[in-house]
Structure 1
Amino acid sequence: MKVVAVDHVQLAMPAGGEGRARAFYEGILGIPEKTKPTHLAARGGVWFERGPLKIHLGVDKNFAPARKAHPGFLVEDLPALIAALTQAGFAVKSDEPLDGYRRVYVDDPFGNRIELMERKAE
């Protein structure tokens, strides 16, 4: 018996934040929305998925953003993504270098920390 992979990452958001989630995760990060199963849709929230990448945002009535715990997304063309985030009003923060990667952090519309990583060309 063993864990073999991560199926999805769930982040929390406050009630009514679906539109802001769509604008960020689909509109800027480019992860398409996936329709939630009917029996789960009544809970609110929104899912974004492309192939094995699955990010689910669920409503938490006692919402508090994840400031330290975070998903790390592999991206293509990090400079263009940074420009799009900045143009949309999101603050992008640099951090200590990590061998083999360019990386930055950004908070989603709810204050959840997101790491954006691009492999450096060898």
Structure 2
Amino acid sequence: MLTAVDHVQLAAPPGSEDRQRRFYTGVLGMTEVPKPPALAARGGCWFRAGPVHLHLGIEPGFRPSDKAHPGLRVTGIEELAARLEAHGTPVTWDTLLPGHRRFYAHDPVGNRLEFLEPDSGV
């Protein structure tokens, strides 16, 4: 029986770890989690914020997906959008999901990210 999502893995091109660290820790405020030594040799980096765990794995020939993305629930969505934009990351607001405010943005290598916050009372 499934009980939870342990983590979401996103792909990244070789050599992009420093850009990813600046974005996921510096902009999104996540904490980098040390990878086990056997996995660290593969490159990439892991991040967490509370129960949210994102793994960035190195993929030779990386090409970001146009559609696939994690949906990240947040609080203070307006402030987060402003923070992303202040750091040079454009956001695209979307009003199609009833009961939620949400926008899309892309990490430094082009991975699509959805950020959403339930409207009051949801």
Task: Give the TM-score of the pair, scaled to structure 1.
Answer: 0.94
Q: CA deviation at 1:96?
A: 3.3
The amino acid that maps onto 2:18 is: G
Structure 2 Cα separation of the partners of residues 66 and 42 of structure 1: 25
1:4 aligns with 2:3: yes
Q: Is the 8 A contact 2:81 2:91 kept in 1?
A: yes
Structure 1 Cα separation of the partners of residues 75 and 28 of structure 2: 11
Alignment match, 1:90? 89
Structure 2 Cα separation of the partners of residues 50 and 107 of structure 1: 18
Alignment match, 1:65? 64
Aligned residues: 121
Q: CA deviation at 1:16?
A: 0.9
Structure 1 Cα separation of the partners of residues 81 and 3 of structure 2: 32
Structure 2 Cα separation of the partners of residues 102 and 96 of structure 1: 7
> Equivalences for 1:1-122 in 2 at 5 Å?
2-122=1-121
Structure 1 segments of 4+ aligned residues over 2 angstroms from their partners: none
Q: Identity over the aligned pairs, expressed in percent?
A: 50
The amino acid that maps onto 2:120 is: A
Q: Which runs of 5+ in 1 are unaligned?
A: none
Task: Give the TM-score of the pair, scaled to structure 2.
Answer: 0.94
The amino acid that maps onto 1:74 is: R
Q: Which runs of 5+ in 2 are unaligned?
A: none
Give the secondary-structure state (helix, strand or coil) at the position aligned to 1:27.
Answer: helix
Q: What per-residue deviation string (whole Å, max 9, x for no partner) do you get for residues 99-121 of structure 1?
A: 22100000111111000001111
Q: What per-residue deviation string (whole Å, max 9, x for no partner) do you get for residues 74-107 of structure 1?
A: 1111111111111111110122331221000001
Structure 1 Cα separation of the partners of residues 107 and 34 of structure 2: 20
